[in-house]
Amino acid sequence: MTLLAANNLFKRFGSFTALDGVDLDLDRGERLVICGPSGSGKSTLIRCINRLEEPDSGTITIEGLPATDLQSLRRRVGMVFQQFNLFPNLTARENVAIGPRKLLGLSRAEADARAEALLDRVQLAGHADKLPSRLSGGQQQRVAIARALAMEPVLMLFDEPTSALDPEMIREVLDVMVELGEGGMSMIVVTHEMGFARRAADRICFMDQGRIVAMAPPQQFFEAPPHPRLVRFLENILGH
Ligand X SMILES: Nc1ncnc2c1ncn2[C@@H]1O[C@H](COP(=O)(O)OP(=O)(O)O)[C@@H](O)[C@H]1O
5 binds another protein (CB under 8 A): no
Binding status of residue 50 toward another protein by CB under 8 A: yes
Residue 84 or 233 having the CB closest to another protein: 84
At its nearest, how many Å lie between ligand X and the CB of residue 42?
3
How many C-beta neighbours within 10 Å does residue 67 have? Answer: 18
What does DSSP say about strands 65-66 and 16-27: parallel, antiparallel, or unpaired? unpaired
Contacting residue, 42, 75, 114, 127, with ligand X by CB under 6 A: 42
Helical (H) or strand (E) element with 155: strand 155-159
Under rule CB under 6 A, residue 197 binds ligand X: no
- Rounded CA separation 204/58 (Å): 22
Query: Which range of residues in 32-40, 108-116, 139-147, 212-220 is near ligand X by CB under 6 A?
Result: 32-40
Among the candidate windows 35-43, 78-86, 93-101, 129-137, which touches ligand X by CB under 6 A? Answer: 35-43
Q: Under rule CB under 8 A, how many of the chain's residues touch another protein? A: 24
Q: Per CB under 8 A, does 89 bind another protein?
A: yes
Name the pairing type of β-strands 31-35 and 16-27.
unpaired
Q: Residue 10 class from Cβ within 10 Å (0-12 exposed, 13-18 middle, 19+ buried)?
A: middle
Q: How far apart are CA 18 and CA 35, in angstroms?
A: 15
Contact flags string 146-165 toward another protein, x per CB under 8 A:
-xx--x--------------
- The answer to whether the beta carbons of residues 212 and 206 sit under 8 Å apart is yes
Which residues contact another protein (rule: CB under 8 A)?
A: 50, 52, 70-72, 74-75, 77-79, 81, 83, 85-89, 98-99, 102-103, 147-148, 151
